[in-house]
Amino acid sequence: MPRKFTRLFVESDLLQGQRLHLNLKESHYVKHVLRLMAGDSLLVFNGRHGEWRAEVTEITKKQTHLDVKELVRPQKDDFPVFLFFASLKMGPLGFLVEKATELGATHLQPLWTDRTQGRDFKHERYLSIAREAAEQSERMSVPTLHMPLTLDVVLSEWKPERRLMVCDERGGAESLLNVLQKSVRPMTSCSVMVGPEGGFSPQEFNVMAQFPWLTFVSLGSNILRAETAAIVALSLFCAIPKGFQHVG
CATH number at residue 22: 2.40.240.20
Structural contact between residues 187 and 242, judged by C-beta atoms closer than 8 angstroms: yes
What pairing do the DSSP bridges indicate for beta strands 190-194 and 107-112? Answer: unpaired
97 & 163 share domain = yes
226 & 122 share domain = yes
Q: Do the domain assignments include residue 245?
A: no
Structural contact between residues 108 and 239, judged by C-beta atoms closer than 8 angstroms: no
Instruction: Tell me if residue 231 falls in helix, strand or coil.
Output: helix
What pLDDT score was predicted for residue 241?
61
Cα dihedral sign, 4-141-8-132: negative
Structural contact between residues 226 and 88, judged by C-beta atoms closer than 8 angstroms: yes
In Å, how far from its chain's centre is CA 57? Answer: 32
What pLDDT score was predicted for residue 181?
81
Distance CA 195, CA 223 (A): 12
Structural contact between residues 147 and 121, judged by C-beta atoms closer than 8 angstroms: yes
26 & 47 share domain = yes
117 & 204 share domain = yes
Structural contact between residues 19 and 57, judged by C-beta atoms closer than 8 angstroms: yes
Local confidence pLDDT in tens for the 248 residues of the chain: 444 679 999 999 999 999 999 988 888 888 888 889 898 999 999 999 999 999 999 988 778 999 999 999 999 988 899 999 999 988 999 999 999 999 999 999 999 999 998 778 999 999 999 999 999 999 999 999 999 999 999 999 999 888 999 999 888 899 998 888 876 555 678 899 999 988 999 999 999 999 999 999 999 988 899 999 999 999 998 877 654 444 44
Distance CA 18, CA 78 (A): 25
116 & 234 share domain = yes
Taking the alpha carbons at both ends of the chain, their separation in whole angstroms is 35
Q: How many CA atoms lie within 13 A of 103 on its CB side?
A: 25
66 & 107 share domain = no
Q: Do the domain assignments include residue 248?
A: no
Q: Do the domain assignments include residue 2?
A: no
CA distances from 157 to 79, 111, 143, 146, 161 (A): 22, 14, 21, 15, 12
Enumerate the H helices of the chain as residue ranges.
24-28, 90-102, 123-137, 151-156, 176-182, 202-208, 226-239
What pLDDT score was predicted for residue 158?
95
140 & 68 share domain = no
Q: For the chain, what is the domain count?
A: 2
The CATH number that applies at residue 178 is: 3.40.1280.10
141 & 86 share domain = yes
Enumerate the H helices of 138-197 as residue ranges.
151-156, 176-182
46: containing domain: 7-73
Domain final residue pick, 27, 47, 73: 73
141 & 221 share domain = yes
Q: Do the domain assignments include residue 1?
A: no
Structural contact between residues 101 and 134, judged by C-beta atoms closer than 8 angstroms: yes
Give the DSSP letter of residue 39.
T
